[in-house]
Amino acid sequence: MKKFRIFKNKQKMEIEERTVKTLAIEFFEKWDIKYTIERYESVEFIIFKYQGGQFFIEFCKDAPYYYRLVMPFIYKIDNDRIKVLEAMVNLMGVISYTKAFLMQDEVYLIIESNIEPNSNIDFFENKIRCDSVQLFKSQRKFMELLKE
C-alpha cells in the first residue's frame, strides 16, 4: 500500500493510501455485512445486501478512488418498453446524480463518486449510507414516474 507524506504544522506525517476496495472491505467487516467479490476483465465488483436492498460497488484498478454504487434489478420490463424508457429519462431529469440504465430487460440505478486517497472509514461509511438512501429514493421516484 502506498504511503503519502504530508506536512502539518511543519511536522512530517505519513498516511496510508486508502482505495475504494480496501475501504469497502473494512466497512463490510466492521458491520459484519456479507459480501462477495467478482471480477470481469479489469473491473471488480463487491456484491452485498444493505438496508434491505441488494447493491454492488464497481471499481477499477486503473481508477482506485472512483466507484459506482449500483442498485440492480429494480424493475423488469414486461411489455411497455417505451413507458419504462420515458420514466428512466424523467428520473435522470428530476434526480440528476442518479443514473438509470438497462441491462438486458432490467432497470439498474447507479451513483458515481470519488474518494480522496487519504479517506478514512468513517467518511466512506457515511458516503455509502447516503448514496444507498439516495438510490432508495430514486427507486421510489422511478416507480411513481411509471404510474404517470
Strand partners, 44: 39, 59
Higher pLDDT, 43 or 136: 136
Residue 148: band (very low, low, confident or very high) from pLDDT cuts 50, 70, 90: confident
Q: What is the pLDDT of residues 3-21, one digit of tens each?
A: 444 445 555 545 456 789 9
Query: Does the pTM of the predicted model rise above 0.85?
Result: no
pLDDT of residue 46: 95
DSSP for residue 9: T
pLDDT digits (tens, 9 = 90+) for 17-50: 678 998 999 999 999 999 999 998 878 899 999 8
Look at strands 43-50 and 106-114 and give their pairing: unpaired
pLDDT value at residue 87? 95
- When pLDDT is averaged across residues 110-125 and rounded to a whole number, the result is 90
55: cell is 447493491
pLDDT in tens, 94-105: 998 899 999 989
Q: Express each pLDDT in 43-96 by its tens digit.
A: 889 999 988 899 999 988 788 889 999 999 999 998 889 999 999 999 999 998
Per the model's pLDDT, the better-predicted residue between 126 and 61 turns out to be: 126
Please give the grid coordinates belonging to residue 130: 447516503
Instruction: Measure the CA–CA gap between 50 and 137, rounded to whole angstroms.
Output: 15
